[in-house]
Each structure stands twice: as C-alpha cells, then as structure tokens.
Amino acid sequence: MQRRTFIKNSTLTVISVSAFGALNWNGKNFEGDTPTTTDILGPFYRPNSPLRSNLRLANTKGIPIVLKGHIFKEDRKTPIHNALVEIWHCDENQVYDNTSDEYKYRGGQRTKTDGKYEFKSILPVPYKADPMDESSWRPSHIHMRVSVPNQQDLITQLYFKGEKYVNTDKWASDPKAVNRILSITKNNSGESEIIFNVIMSREIPLDKKAYEKVTGLYDVGKGNFCEFIKNDDLLFMKYNGQLVASLKYIGNNTFEGGIEFPKVTFDLQKDGGVKAVINWTNTETDNGIKYLKYNEK
C-alpha cells in the first residue's frame, strides 16, 4: 500500500540529529570537532527528577566522580543558558531506583550563563540486562537528557574508556558512540572527573496535528500494546505500560530511536484510522492499530 502524506499540505521536514562530541579551546571560544548521534533512552527514565547537582548518597561504596561540561548551540561556540540537563544511572549494586521518592542517582540542573553544568555522583557499575544471558552485560554508563526550547532534545549515554564490556555492548560498540566513550581523569582535588561537552542541534518542529494523529494507544496483537506520547519534541514509546524508547522524526512518516532502532512508521488511512509498523530490529516487526480513529477538525 502506498503510504499517505503524513500531514496534507504541511511541512514535515527531517529533524537534524542532535550532536555532541569533543570540544577544543582555541583561546577565544570552544570549537567542536566530531559531532555524533544520540543513544537509546533505555527503560529506566523517570521524568521530574529533583533539581540538584549532588547525587552522592551517604555510606556509598561507589567511586566518587564529577561529571561536568558545557552545553552549546549548533554553532558550537554559543553557550546555552538555562538548559535542563538530566542524568540517571545505576548504583554500585547494579540497581536503578525506579520507584522511591528519593530518586537515587537521578537529578537535573539548569545550566549557568556560560552553559556549564556539573554533577557529583558515583561511577555506575556494569550490569547484566538479562540475568539468564551472559551476553547481555552492559558496560558502566550514565544516561543524559538535555532539553532546550527551540533546540532538538538530546538523549544519550556516556561510556568510559577501558571498560570490559564496551566492545561487546550493542550500543557502546556502535560506531556512532565513539565520541561518547570518555576518559576518566583526576582533577586538582584528586577526584575522578569526566568532561562531556554537548552541541545541540536546531529544532525543526513538527506540526501539532502530526502528533495528534499518531499519539495514542495501539494494539499490536497477542495481548500487547504500544502507546506513543508527545514529550517536548520527542515521541515517547511505552510497551505494555513500560517506557522503552524516545523517538525523533526522520521523515517519510517515520520516527527512530537513538541508534537506529526501534523505528516506527505510521500509515494514516482514508477512514481516519492509523497503523503503526514497529521495527524492533531488521527482522523483528510488530504491526499496531490505533484504538481510536483521528477525527479531522
């Protein structure tokens, strides 16, 4: 079936990919070198984490770290003031705090006028994503989201050089992640320090009606359901109630996750119905039907 135009008589151009990479100081300002792509959201994102810069807990046995950097516009030199930077990661026992009111090892902060952010936390440890699968070990990593009005939201993960599982992890070993495998150095206070400077990309917003047409609950068969929810300029995806991915629009009625998958293509029907083709991998696909038809007003 030939796919219909996503929004008739509207401009749904491709959103350029958020970029981040190493930055160099030229004596007057920072200059970027190698922008790269985003990473997957992962299943453990919790919105509305507390605004705070110190995430360390008393009596932790984790290795203290400082994570800091600057947030820049797409010109790679203009700092962004008041950008919201959120991070989250597991503790020294491989556990994410997904339920408590303490939001352990989760926090956000607004950047200063120079675009700077700085968190104190501990170094997360590797963990096995599937207890029954030895090949599912994930290397130490820190999740990050950067939200700025009029800039494409950035969702990514930071990895560390010398980690045992970096070369075997599906996402860390992806060529697009090369500039997010970071060195851990010592600062003047003797603490372990990680520097990550971010370059945001220009936002090309989707028409509001596009989101109205595709957001909602979809039946993908066998008692399974996918829900798509607008979140800033991203499309969040829930599978059976669990948040599993953030998607950005890439053109041709298609939204894509951080590193290629999942990829979702929407097909708008003449009768107001909407179908979603969800590609989890190159070979694994679900087809969903939206519960309610879109009523054109």
Are residues 91 and 107 located together in one domain of the fold?
A: yes
Give the separation between CA 290 and CA 145, rounded to whole angstroms. Answer: 29
Judged by DSSP in three states, 196 sits in coil
Q: Residue 273 is part of which domain span? A: 208-290
Regarding whether 227 and 194 lie in a shared domain, the answer is no
Reduced to 3 states (helix: H, G, I; strand: E, B; else coil), residue 231 is strand
DSSP state letters, 145-170: EEE-TTEE-EEEEEEETT-TTTTTST
Q: Which of 173, 202, 231 is the last residue of a domain?
A: 202
Tokens representing 158 are 């930071």
Q: Which residue has the tokens 């990661």?
A: 89
Residue 265 is assigned to a structural domain of this protein: yes
Cα dihedral value 172, 177, 178, 182, nearest 10: -70
Domain count, the chain: 2
Instruction: Specify whether 53 is located in the same domain as 190.
Output: yes
Same domain, 131 and 189: yes
Residue 37 has a pLDDT of 53
Q: Look up residue 134 and give its two tokens.
A: 């030895």
> In the prediction, which pLDDT does 212 show?
87
Last residue of a domain, one of 202, 226, 247: 202
Using CA atoms, how far apart are residues 207 and 215, in angstroms rounded to an integer?
A: 13
Q: Is residue 133 in some structural domain?
A: yes
Residue appearing with tokens 């503790």: 91
pLDDT confidence of residue 296: 56
Domain shared by 185 and 216, yes or no: no
Return the CATH number at 152: 2.60.130.10
120 shares its domain with 242: no
Q: Residue 11: what pLDDT?
A: 27
Q: Which amino acid is located at 189 in the chain? A: S
Q: What pLDDT tens digit does each residue of the chain (297 aa) get?
A: 222 232 222 222 222 233 334 444 455 444 444 443 579 898 899 989 999 999 999 999 999 999 999 999 888 889 999 999 999 999 999 999 999 999 999 999 999 999 999 999 999 999 998 888 988 999 999 999 999 887 778 889 999 999 989 999 999 998 888 889 999 999 988 899 999 999 887 766 677 888 888 999 999 999 999 999 998 888 999 999 988 899 888 777 889 887 778 999 999 888 888 999 999 988 999 999 998 765 655
Looking at the fold, whether 147 and 227 belong to one and the same domain comes out as no
- Tokens matching residue 218: 């979809």
What integer pLDDT is reported at residue 43 of this predicted model?
84
CATH of the domain at 267: 2.40.128
If asked whether residues 48 and 132 sit together in one domain, one would say: yes
